[in-house]
């Protein structure tokens, strides 16, 4: 076979193969087109089915909603004439009842009505039943009930019935004025109770300040008592009956007469505090060597209450100071004195000794009490002694023996100086040197002594009894003996110059000077 023929055969084979491939491709394309068309037809069928189902569902929902609306609306219409669930009228459950049914219940309730009245019992702080009021006791009935119930129904929002069912909300109503009773019967009933009889009542006691004790003062609380305000009690019980209540507490409604002064009363509290301040005072006196304590045991006797105002009896304080001064002061009192020669004499007091400033000390003590002070002190003095106690002269003093015209100067128990002197003239009226115990008034140099008929300069002047004192007498040449009887001084103690100078160095204001005659 020639070469050309072979190539023609190959070419023919290739052509045949292409033709077969093209046919296969065309067939595949047609198949795909058929499948797509089939799917398109199937989709149209499925969409129609879905739309149909939706229409059915929508219809069903519409029907259901219509039924629900009818049911809700029908129930709402029902509750236009019936009370909603959880409705309570005068504490009675009236759920789902109409006005007539509810009125019947309220009428039955009225027939069995009771009111328990509680109040203070005989035991302090305890409440007890004072009595029970029953319907027949007071002619208790219901009146105009159904009309009032119809009004309540008209005010009720029946569209909220589902809220009442699901929400659990309670609707509570009190039909004011729906009950009637006879006031006179009520008052007669109450008067028959023991608690309402005056003989069985105890009046309240006001809070007050206790008597003084070691702890001071304290407030005793008020006691409440069982005394009723009858008008208030009747009013409170009447209101409870009118409201159809089954219990009322006369304590809670404030029907008892209360104490007018209670423990927390500001004025009472302040008064107690003030009194405790006063009795907290503790004054320890060194009163002329004697310890005197002024504390609550003494002070409380000076305290009183005028109403709720504490009062300190200032006159009693002044009297206390005066009494103590009279007992312990030595000024102005006679005293025993043993002379240098051993003779015991009773001498009148001149201007020497302990003398309390009564007015000044009274005022100071009063102020210390008001302040509640705690301290140690001496009283105020207008005159002081050398020593404390009844023997207040001490061991340093001037002893003037007028009978023997001899003077002794003691210093710390020892005689440090002696001297003769000339005292007041015994034959001339008003010139005698008086005996007694005195304190030196003051001392000064170069004084001029003046009288009705004399004017005398002296170097040392030491007065101890008014215008009577010790001084030098340079005009005299002799001292002692009996000179004083007919040629004495105007009352002073005339001394030699050197002795007067020495005495002047020892003495000071208040220095004891003892003058005596045997």
Active site residues: 471, 492
Residue 318's pLDDT is 99
- Compute the CA torsion angle 467, 471, 476, 481 (nearest 10 deg): 80
Name residue, tokens 């669930």.
85
The pair of three-digit structure tokens given for residue 71, joined into one six-digit string: 């049911």
pLDDT band at 268 (very low <50, low <70, confident <90, very high): very high
Give the pLDDT score at 243.
Answer: 84
Q: Which sequence spans correspond to the domains of the chain? A: 100-144+174-249, 267-329+354-383, 397-516
Residue that is written with structure tokens 């009297």 in the block: 319
With contact defined as beta carbons under 8 Å apart, do 218 and 237 qualify? Answer: no
Average pLDDT (86-96) is: 88
Alpha-carbon span 333 to 384, nearest angstrom: 14
Q: Tell me which range, 23-32, 92-101, 166-175, 223-232, is most confidently predicted by mean pLDDT.
A: 223-232
DSSP string, 201-265: ----B--EEPPPBTTB--EEPPB----B-HHHHHHHHHHHHHTT-SEEETTTTT-BPPPSS-TT-
* Region label for 406, one of left (φ > 0), alpha (ψ between -120 and 50) or beta (otherwise): beta
Tokens of 357: 């400033």
Q: What is the pLDDT of residues 71-85, one digit of tens each?
A: 888 898 999 999 999
pLDDT band at 453; cut points 50, 70, 90: confident
d(CA 275, CA 450): 58
pLDDT bin (cut points 50, 70, 90) of residue 442 is very high
Say if CB 261 and CB 297 are below 8 A apart: no
3-state secondary structure string across 19-87: HHHHHHHHHHHHHHHHHHHHHHHHHHHHHHHHHHHHHHHHHHHHHHHHHHHHHHHHHHHHCCCECCCCE
Q: Which residue in 300, 469, 303 sits closest to 398, CA to CA?
A: 469
Tell me: the pLDDT tens digits for 458-482?
A: 999 999 999 999 999 999 999 999 9
- The CATH code that applies to domain 267-329+354-383 is 3.10.20.800
Q: How far apart are CA 221 and CA 262, in angstroms?
A: 7
- Decide if 267-329+354-383 and 397-516 have a common fold: no
SS3 of the chain: helix, strand, coil, percent, to 5: 40, 25, 35
Each residue's pLDDT tens digit, 42-64: 555 566 777 888 888 888 887 78
Query: Is residue 118 helix, strand or coil?
Result: strand
pLDDT digits (tens, 9 = 90+) for 145-193: 788 889 899 999 888 888 888 877 788 888 766 788 999 999 999 999 9
Which helix (H) or strand (E) is 11 found in, with range? Answer: helix 3-78
Q: Is the domain covering 397-516 a CATH 2.40.440.10 domain?
A: yes
pLDDT value of position 35: 64
What dihedral do alpha carbons 259, 262, 266, 267 form, nearest 10°?
60
Q: Average pLDDT of 421-432?
A: 96
Give the Cα separation of 505 and 350 in Å (integer).
23
Position 230 pLDDT exceeds 70: yes
Per the CB < 8 A criterion, the answer to whether 102 and 94 are in contact is yes
Read off the pTM.
0.68
Contact 229, 256 (CB under 8 A): yes
506 has a pLDDT exceeding 70: yes
Q: Count of CB atoms within 10 A of residue 238's CB? A: 17
Query: Measured between alpha carbons, how far is residue 244 from residues 84, 141, 171, 181, 240 in Å?
Result: 22, 10, 17, 11, 6
């Amino acid at each position: 076979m020639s070469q050309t023929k072979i190539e023609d055969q190959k070419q023919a084979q290739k052509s045949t193969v292409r033709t077969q491939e093209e046919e296969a491709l065309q067939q595949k394309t047609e198949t795909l087109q058929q499948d797509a068309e089939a799917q398109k037809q199937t989709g149209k069928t499925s969409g129609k089915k879905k739309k149909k189902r939706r229409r059915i569902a929508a219809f069903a929902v519409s029907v259901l909603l219509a039924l629900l609306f009818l049911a809700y609306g029908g129930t709402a219409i029902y509750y236009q004439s019936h009370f909603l669930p959880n409705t309570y009228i005068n504490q009675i459950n009236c759920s789902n009842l109409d006005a007539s049914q509810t009125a019947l219940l309220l009428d039955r309730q009225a027939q069995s009505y009771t009111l328990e009245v509680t109040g203070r019992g005989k035991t302090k702080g305890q409440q007890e039943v004072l009595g029970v009021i029953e319907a027949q006791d007071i002619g208790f009935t219901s009146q105009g009930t159904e009309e009032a119930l119809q009004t309540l129904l008209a005010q009720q929002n029946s569209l909220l019935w589902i809220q009442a069912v699901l929400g659990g909300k309670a609707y509570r109503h009190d039909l004011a004025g729906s009950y009637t009773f006879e006031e006179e019967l009520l008052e007669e009933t109450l008067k028959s109770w023991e608690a309402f009889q005056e003989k069985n009542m105890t009046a309240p006691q006001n809070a007050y300040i206790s008597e003084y004790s070691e702890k001071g003062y304290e407030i005793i609380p008020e006691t409440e008592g069982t005394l009723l305000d009858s008008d208030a009690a009747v009013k409170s019980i009447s209101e409870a009956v009118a409201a159809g209540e089954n219990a009322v507490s006369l304590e809670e409604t404030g029907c008892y007469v209360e104490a007018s002064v209670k423990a927390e009363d500001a004025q009472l509290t302040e008064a107690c505090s003030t009194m405790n301040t006063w009795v907290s005072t503790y004054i320890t006196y060194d009163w002329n060597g004697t310890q005197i304590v002024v504390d609550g045991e003494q002070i409380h006797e000076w305290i009183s209450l005028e109403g709720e105002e504490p009062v300190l009896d200032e006159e009693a304080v002044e009297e206390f100071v005066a009494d103590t001064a009279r007992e312990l002061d030595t000024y102005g009192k006679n005293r025993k004195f043993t002379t240098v020669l051993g003779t015991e004499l009773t001498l009148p007091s001149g201007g020497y000794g302990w003398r309390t400033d009564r007015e000044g000390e009274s005022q100071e003590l009063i102020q210390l009490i008001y302040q509640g002070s705690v301290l140690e002190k001496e009283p105020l003095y207008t005159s002081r002694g050398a020593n404390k106690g009844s023997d207040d002269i001490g061991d340093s003093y001037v002893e003037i023996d007028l009978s023997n015209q001899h003077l002794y100067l003691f210093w710390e128990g020892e005689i440090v100086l002696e001297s003769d002197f000339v005292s007041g003239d015994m034959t001339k009226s008003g010139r005698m040197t008086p005996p007694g115990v005195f304190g030196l008034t003051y001392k000064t140099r170069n004084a001029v002594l003046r009288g009705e008929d004399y004017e005398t300069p002296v170097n040392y002047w030491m007065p101890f009894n008014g215008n009577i004192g010790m001084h030098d007498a340079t005009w005299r040449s002799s001292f002692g003996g009996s000179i004083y009887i007919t040629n004495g001084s105007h009352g002073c103690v005339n001394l030699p110059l050197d002795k007067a100078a020495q005495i002047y160095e020892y003495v000071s204001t208040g220095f004891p000077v003892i003058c005596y005659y045997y």
